[in-house]
Structure 1
Amino acid sequence: MDNVKSGIILKGVGGFYDVLDTSAGVIYTCRVRGIHRKEGGKTPLPGDGVTFKVIDEKSLTGFIDEIGERKNAFVRPPVANIDQLAVVVAVRSPEPDLSLVDKLLITCEAKNITPLILVNKVDLDEEGTAEAISRAYGKAGYRVIPLSKVLNTGYDELHQQLKGCKTAFAGQSGVGKSTILNIILNNWVMEIGEVSERIQRGRHTTRHVQLFELAVGGFVMDTPGFSSYAVSDIEHTELAYLYPEFRQVIGECRFTSCSHINEPGCRVRELVEKGEADPGRYGRYIQYYRELKEAYDNRYRR
């Protein structure tokens, strides 16, 4: 049985999967056994832990036998077992899309992912935008790291935060995700396998999800497709529980079915009024709640 190994899928293209043998640091090209597909097995995704059987050591080829239990999984982008999501927002060019930030944070809370907020381009910050974002999300308990390639700010802290995690990156177009990833890929990625491929980043409009192993342990994921996100698969009654700053007081509202919008004796609104929760985040909560409630009320209508 010594030709059976454990690994993690780094990339999948056209039915072929790059699988990293985590004990030896060698990448094998694997396919999925036909019997696995016939038995209704799940489709392998980048980020999956697998066992695989080596067919030929010389050509480094094999077959995936089993896919491990998943912590979480996404259809778009197709990836599994994200530990941490680095949500990137710029102080300007483009203007911060805090609605997208909040939707991504809600997704993190729902999918058991640790969020990390990166405020990029702080060298362009003339209006205190980075501080305002840090203050707003700090009230919710989120870690916020100001970043600047120009000033070389924040990258040491980011490096520490990536250690030991599978981290994906998300944010609107133009916020600097590619710049951040290129710095990571050029400085912190393990020198194993075909490293030249990573230099090709950005030259192709179509890219696949790919994991890169970090020298400090863990992986970063190049995950095209996280630039827009919806919260449509969440019930309106669950939404407030996905806000850490609200969660602590939800059970203290006067009404157990409180929507935290109009009801008297609402502890969430009290937090906002006292400045202990950010009013911008609360305003967006109301918007999402109403959208989800409307979708729920209309679910059987044609």
Structure 2
Amino acid sequence: MMKNHLEITNNKLKEAKPLIKLFGLDYDGTVSDKDHKLLEVSVLVEKILDKNKSVAFITARAATALKTLVPLLQEALLRKEATIPSFVAGGNGTTLYEVKKDELIEIYNHGFEVPQIVKAVEVGRKVYKKLGIGTADLAEKGLTTFKKFLQDDWDGYVPVEMIDVCRPFNGELFTEQAKVTFVLPKDKSLHQNVVDELNENLGEEYRAAVGDETYVHITRKLKEDSKAVAIKTILTTLGLEQAQVATFGDMPIGNDAGLLSFPYSFTNSEEFMGVKKDLQQPPYVLLEPNLTPVNRVYKAIEYLIF
């Protein structure tokens, strides 16, 4: 089975190599981990820009994407004196911006108003109570991160009235325009239950999806997967075909499903091998036993550009 995956993935990379003009990248778990911080990501971005190809971060991050990934792209464009179109889509594609050296242009924003945020929080808390999930059951990493977020300065990134909605909950959740995020329980066997219950109770206007083992994100539900919408919008903006983008993500059954629906979509999730039904359809699994999942993505991207 592994041999088949490896052969098909390598063939797809080879097939894509002369075609790719755009890289659509999830961030956490895909190009970023404990060994790949902003510096390493910046070096990767510059390598892509050097080859006159565009970069688009399509991430669950929203305000944090504006705080960290926009400056990263702007600095790379400045250092390379490049005018190559670059993009950041936050909140799983709920917002989309074109990033220029000295400017940030909003292409669209499907974010929430305060009443919608309040409703998402109320429904989420009822679901957690129904499932018997309390603060002590939640992932420590998420609680620590959100408690820190509540001490940070979000002026210019998150309206005060939006972030104030989450302040009473002591790091259990975080509210911003693009999404409402709840910390998941430590018990991974409960994650799908949480998502199913949220989607059943939130109504047609919302969509809940797991971002990783720590967070579940609630965004506005679009007619199509929002990460897919972001990529398609960028392709239209650049006048490119779907076969000219390579997309990478680590959650093919979670919030990267739409991102990984393109002809040349690749995932570093080994677990996906066990559930993938058609080996000939994307996303294709990056396999390299001696490399970490994120290093596999770096190796694949470098193969495509060199």
Q: Shorter-chain TM-score category? A: under 0.3
Q: Which has the higher strand share?
A: 1
Higher relative contact order (CA 8 A, sep 6+): 2
The two structures have a TM-score, normalised by structure 1, of 0.24
State the TM-score, normalized to the length of structure 2.
0.24
Larger gyration radius, structure 1 or structure 2 = 1
